[in-house]
Amino acid sequence: MIEFINFSGKTILVTGATSGIGYEICMQIANFNGNIIAVGRNQEKLNDLANKMTKRIHFKGVLYDLENLDKLENLIEIIKIPIDGIVHAAGIVQLQPIKFLDMNLLNKIRTINYDSIVLIISKLLKKKLINKNASIIFISSIAGEVGMKGNFIYSSTKASLNSSAKVFASELSGQNIRVNCIAPGQVETTLTESVAKQVSAEAIIVDRKKYPLGYGKPEDIAHLALFLLSDKSSWITGTTITIDGGRSNILN
CB crowding 95-110: b at 16 or more within 10 Å, else e: ebeeeeeeeeeeeebb
pLDDT recorded at residue 223: 97
Give the predicted TM-score (pTM) of the model. 0.94
Q: What does each C-alpha distance from 45 to 25, 48, 100 come to in angstroms?
A: 14, 5, 34
**Active site includes 154?**
yes
- Tens-of-pLDDT digits for all 252 residues of the chain? 346 899 999 999 999 999 999 999 999 999 999 999 999 999 999 999 999 998 889 999 999 999 999 999 999 999 999 999 999 999 999 999 999 999 999 999 999 999 999 999 999 999 999 999 999 999 999 999 988 888 999 999 999 999 999 999 999 999 999 999 999 999 997 756 666 666 677 877 888 899 999 999 999 999 999 999 999 999 999 999 999 999 998 876
Reduced to 3 DSSP states, what percent helix, strand and coil does the chain have, rounded to the nearest 5?
45, 20, 35
Which residue(s) pair with 183 in the sheet? Answer: 242
Question: Rounded to 5 degrees, what are φ and ψ at 109?
Answer: -65, -45
Catalytic member of 23, 64, 114, 154: 154
pLDDT recorded at residue 1: 35
pLDDT recorded at residue 201: 75
Q: Which domains does the chain have, with CATH numbers?
A: 11-243 (3.40.50.720)
